[in-house]
Structure 1
Amino acid sequence: MRLYNLLKNSLDLTRLELTEYMNKHKVTVNNIVVPLSTIINPNDIVSIDGNKIEMIQFHYYLYYKPKGILSTISNKENSYINQINIPFKVTPAGRLDKESEGLMVLSNDGNFLNKITGDKNEHEKEYIVKVSKSITIDFLNGMGKSYLMDGKMTKPAKVKKIDDYTFSIILFEGLYHQIRRLVQMCNNKVVELKRIRISNYYLNDMKPGDIIEFKP
């Protein structure tokens, strides 16, 4: 882990705020002033103005978000944060809207979350979708095309028919309500939407509400 990430997570500061903070305080690793890009090892001693700070323990979870649960952090009872029994703050790698269900990856490791959700990395996200009208070849072809959405062209999706009303789709980005909007553009309507994979992390046989800790 880099010194920048340790300080950012420990102090809960933005990069700009952290830069300003570094100008006012003396940060050392093993009593030596080093740049923010320095790689920190578990046995290193990091201090701010001579006061040692504890190394953060990172945690990683797979969570099956049930339908009706919000994937945003809030005080609302149906926020996912109030459904999981974890004694520290975690954030999701990619959100799901309230009416959707399926896999969320949760962690307090910002670097890890960025790696599996950042647009530059193009990690796959796979969904199973049920629609209201029977699926045609034209519909499948339309769902796989690139469209102008939120000011940019979407990346072509991988689409496969499962049965007359169900298909799988793999996206390489995560725009707001992207699948629901694509389905509507192709003259159909989403009835059920479930995310089953983010990158190489799978929902498998998890049940709604299940949460599993893992090591990346």
Structure 2
Amino acid sequence: MEENLKRINKFLSEAGYCSRREADKLIDAGRVTINGKIPEMGTKISVNDVVQVDGKPIKNTKDAFVYLAFNKPIGIVCTTDTRVEKDNIIDYIKYPKRIFPIGRLDKPSEGLILLTDDGDIVNKILRASNNHDKEYIVTVNKPISQTFIERMSNGVPILDTISKKCTVEKLGTNEFRIILTQGLNRQIRRMCEYLDYEVETLKRVRIMNIKLDMPIGTYRELTEEEFKDLNKLLEDSAKEVTSTEPPRRRKNK
């Protein structure tokens, strides 16, 4: 059926392989085949066609999986257990396909969280050794000192370990930006508490190349460009055993 057909350059773009313009160049150079034959520019394909670039099959992972960016409000719990938590993220979003959050933001926190049904990408993003950035804007209950910035940046003892060195920048009297590559339980709150500060507001504004740009309580699909760049950032990332819901010790801020 016509509605199931897709231009070859769009397919390659949505698969995260390259941009549409770059795909056109590959097609023009004869490096792309459809079912073993070199296509003309603008050729459309169906889900049953086999697409290859330089002899290597291309799988359209973006079509196969769901990737959402969600601006979580305060009060919503990042769990897939809809029987336990009334204000859980799954019931709030009401997405028609089974998805799960990549990590967590605790109930009093707000901001960006990604949701998907792709277990591989979950583990690549969450694994601390992969050093993927997560950026937060935080306000605390009293003026921020230079000592606070330095100690937060260099790591403080929490949860029987020393937090990894991170980037911390003072934005205002009681406000700072922090970029973590780690995901310890309630990490930012615990770091502040150790230094005798109390977090009043905490918002995550970025995960790797994905930025918070939607109204609170709404979600959107990742763009083709975001998905392509995310794949590049994850190319050398290791992954752990796939889990439908990450352990509770991870990713709470």
Unaligned runs of 5+ in 1: 1-40, 45-54
Q: Hey, what does 2:117 align to over in structure 1?
A: 108
1:71 to partner: Cα distance: 0.7
Within 5 Å, which residues of 2 pair with 1:95-134?
95-134=104-143
The code of the aligned residue for 2:215 comes to K
Counterpart selection for 2:66 from 33, 56, 59: 59
Within 5 Å, which residues of 2 pair with 1:10-159?
57-75=64-82, 76-159=85-168
1:82 to partner: Cα distance: 0.5
Q: Hey, what does 1:29 align to over in structure 2?
A: none
Q: Hey, what does 2:216 align to over in structure 1?
A: 208
Query: Partners of 1:189 and 1:132 in 2: how far apart?
Result: 6
Query: Partners of 1:117 and 1:83 in 2: how far apart?
Result: 23
1:148 to partner: Cα distance: 3.5
Q: Hey, what does 2:177 align to over in structure 1?
A: 168
Unaligned runs of 5+ in 2: 1-46, 51-60, 228-253
1:195 to partner: Cα distance: 0.4
DSSP-derived class of the 1:181 partner: helix
What do residues 69-95 of structure 1 show as CA deviations (whole Å, max 9, x unaligned)? 001112233101001131122111120
Report how many aligned residue pairs link the two structures.
Answer: 165
Query: Partners of 1:127 and 1:188 in 2: how far apart?
Result: 16
Contact 2:158 2:191 in 1 (8 A): no
Q: Hey, what does 1:50 align to over in structure 2?
A: none
What do residues 97-117 of structure 1 show as CA deviations (whole Å, max 9, x unaligned)? 000000001000011122222
> Going by fraction, where is strand more abundant, 1 or 2?
1
* Identity percentage of aligned residues: 38
Contact 2:170 2:177 in 1 (8 A): yes
Counterpart selection for 2:204 from 195, 199, 210: 195
Contact 1:116 1:198 in 2 (8 A): no
TM-score, structure 2 normalization: 0.61
1:176 to partner: Cα distance: 0.2
Q: Hey, what does 2:24 align to over in structure 1?
A: none
> Going by fraction, where is helix more abundant, 1 or 2?
2
1:157 to partner: Cα distance: 1.3
Compare 149-158 and 82-91 and name the one that shifted more.
149-158
